[in-house]
Amino acid sequence: MYELINRNARKIVQNLARETNVVSEYEWLLEHTSPQHIGSEDYQKRYKSYWEVNLIRPSKSWVDAYFATLHGAVQNGAALQSVVEQIFATPVHSNGKKSVQFSFASKLLHMTQPSLPIYDSFVAEFYFFSPPSVSDPQKKIFVYLEFHNFLVEETARIRKDDLVKPAIAEFRSHFIPKCCSDQKIIDSLIWSFVDLLHKREIQY
């Protein structure tokens, strides 16, 4: 799979380039994670747009709780399990129903620790991971955390063994990023690879 990413590196990077300000907007958000920025309407609007938070149509109380959690993680550090549980504590919608928003939790923590991988449905698909279907939220969180631990170990192996070195070089040559970690680049390459699979522009 990693060889396929290297083989299709230019197409994968060009697919990412179709996204508006895919690198510059990420870097702006990363460079402005001070408490005063996190609490601003502009920062939150741009954050929600970049990470596609609006797709779940969250309530204002959930959004407030989410950015309060980000603020706390920036100030004091945080573990992923704690972040997930804090976000889970507030219902996403006004109907009072809670849900485990693991992807947005991983994105939040990544903003404070850019060396950590991001979980989303495309990353799950790439590694043939099926999101847990159990109803118990604690069991669901446990399964997600186990998979994220795998991502931490696997992406460390990717970096150590230079498994996607040509693709990372293609990304850096095209975008010339200022502060994108190799981890974020790997996440982006995987996302774009799966996106192209969906579009049938790449085949196994």
The mean pLDDT value of the chain amounts to 94
Q: What's the pLDDT at 124?
A: 97
Which structural domain range is residue 60 located in?
A: 2-198
Instruction: List Cβ neighbours of 65 (8 Å cut-off, separation of 6 or more).
Output: 86, 87, 89, 90
- pLDDT of residue 20 exceeding 70: no
Q: For the whole model, what pTM was predicted?
A: 0.93
Q: What's the pLDDT at 95?
A: 85
Look up residue 169 and give its amino acid.
A
Could you tell me if 99 and 138 are in contact, meaning their C-beta atoms sit under 8 angstroms apart?
A: no
Instruction: List Cβ neighbours of 130 (8 Å cut-off, separation of 6 or more).
Output: 124
Residue at token pair 């997600």: 144
Burial class (CB in 10 A: 0-12, 13-18, 19+), 108: buried
Query: Tokens at residue 11, please?
Result: 């197409």
pLDDT tens string 131-146: 998 889 999 999 999 9
165 in a structural domain: yes
203 in a structural domain: no
Could you tell me if 117 and 148 are in contact, meaning their C-beta atoms sit under 8 angstroms apart?
A: yes
Confidence grade of residue 16 (pLDDT, cut at 50, 70, 90):
very high
118 in a structural domain: yes
134 in a structural domain: yes
Sign of the torsion angle spanned by Cα atoms 77, 81, 84, 86: negative
pLDDT tens string 121-175: 999 999 999 999 888 999 999 999 999 999 999 999 999 999 999 999 999 999 9
Structural domain tally of the chain?
1
